[in-house]
A = this chain, B = another copy of it.
Amino acid sequence: MVNSKPYVIGIDMGGTNTVFGIVDARGIVLASDSIKTRKHSNINDYIDELYQETMRLVKATDTEGKIYGIGVGAPNANYFTGMIEDGVNLPWPTPVPFAQLLSDKFGIPVAITNDANAAAIGEMTYGAARGLKDFIMITLGTGVGSGIVINGQLVYGHDGFAGELGHVIVKRNNGRLCGCGRAGCLETYCSATGVARTAREFLEIRNEPSTLRDIPVDAITSKDVYDAAINGDKIAKDIFEYTGEILGEALADFTAFSSPEAFVLFGGLAKSGELLLRPIRNAMEKNMLSIYKGKVSVLLSELKEADAAVLGASALGWEAKPLTTSLAVPATAAPAAPQA
């Protein structure tokens, strides 16, 4: 059967930019562009601009009337309810029925989920996780996010909030304070921000020379640490060892949960490559229960970062269903198969 609507729209809402694109069934991005997420204080103005700009791409690509659905990745977006529940960095009040508002505007079915879940769907559909039925996506950006796939299905949990592995506690005592209000979360150590914190700590407690000392301590980024490590800086290399060890220990524990075939790493920090991968793999294998040893791969995302967010979100567009007039889907009434 030829699908008369062979395109989807992918929208990735970040704290700064909202990227959107038209994508075909093979994962080719026909066109993409972006708007500023925080320009409007009224969500209707934001949606108006998003609609205008997206429809401009639709017309330019001659895909009008051929869009099957819209997929959205957004922080704290809930797949079950279609709501953005808590928009820490968003200029309009939340919770907001984002899927409904977008669907009303475009007249096209909309599915939304959080950004890490969208990345997992994109990786499964087009990237390093093609053919894998059991894997865990770990996004290493400003924070640490995760999208868990079990038996080919994304895990949403009973309330749509499953997969917050960045907030598993890895240091029970004297752990670093986390933005979530607790202490010792994985993301305080293994995010880009966490690497910068580690740099500040290491520079303070150690006396060796380091090119990182040439940078004002509060301005050090994970990219600075990466550059220094590549140039052989001992402290910078140790920072990656430390980060990778904590993440590897955590991945060993995560394995005891769903026994995945692979972890797929995505995001700025994942671009550190072997500098981070080697200590992760070593610590993971060393800390794993014996039945899992040697079975679990740690892979890097294969999606181009510029396309990844839109691709991931767009893949969700294929499972968008028309919303009923009543928005409220009971959290316990999970769809039978959230993943196509």
Write the residues of chain A forming the contact surface with B, with a CB cutoff of 8 angstroms: 85-86, 132-134, 148, 150-151, 153, 155-165, 167-172, 180-182, 249, 252-254, 256-261, 287, 289-292, 295, 332, 334, 336, 338
- Taking a contact as CB atoms under 8 Å apart, the answer to whether B164 and A289 are in contact is yes
Shortest C-beta distance, A221 to chain B (Å), equals: 26
- Taking a contact as CB atoms under 8 Å apart, the answer to whether A180 and B290 are in contact is yes
Q: A172 vs B163: C-alpha distance in the bound complex, in angstroms?
A: 22
Q: A170 vs B167: C-alpha distance in the bound complex, in angstroms?
A: 15
For A148, list chain B residues within 8 Å (CB). 257-258
- Taking a contact as CB atoms under 8 Å apart, the answer to whether B168 and A253 are in contact is yes
Contact of A151 among B132, B169, B254, B334 (CB under 8 A): B334
Q: A147 vs B160: C-alpha distance in the bound complex, in angstroms?
A: 20
Contact of A167 among B150, B289, B334, B338 (CB under 8 A): B289
- Taking a contact as CB atoms under 8 Å apart, the answer to whether A133 and B167 are in contact is no
- Taking a contact as CB atoms under 8 Å apart, the answer to whether A257 and B254 are in contact is yes
For A151, list chain B residues within 8 Å (CB). 153, 155-156, 334, 336, 338
Sorted from nearest, which 4 A-B pairs have the closest CB atoms? A157-B259, A162-B259, A134-B158, A164-B256
Shortest C-beta distance, A170 to chain B (Å), equals: 8
A153: nearest chain-B partner, CB-CB: B151
For A290, list chain B residues within 8 Å (CB). 180-181
- Taking a contact as CB atoms under 8 Å apart, the answer to whether A158 and B261 are in contact is yes
- Taking a contact as CB atoms under 8 Å apart, the answer to whether A180 and B289 are in contact is yes
Q: What 8 new A-B contacts, CB under 8 Å, besides A158-B259, A169-B249? A: A85-B291, A151-B153, A157-B260, A161-B259, A161-B291, A169-B252, A169-B287, A170-B172
Contact of A289 among B160, B170, B182, B336 (CB under 8 A): B182
A172: nearest chain-B partner, CB-CB: B249
- Taking a contact as CB atoms under 8 Å apart, the answer to whether A256 and B334 are in contact is no
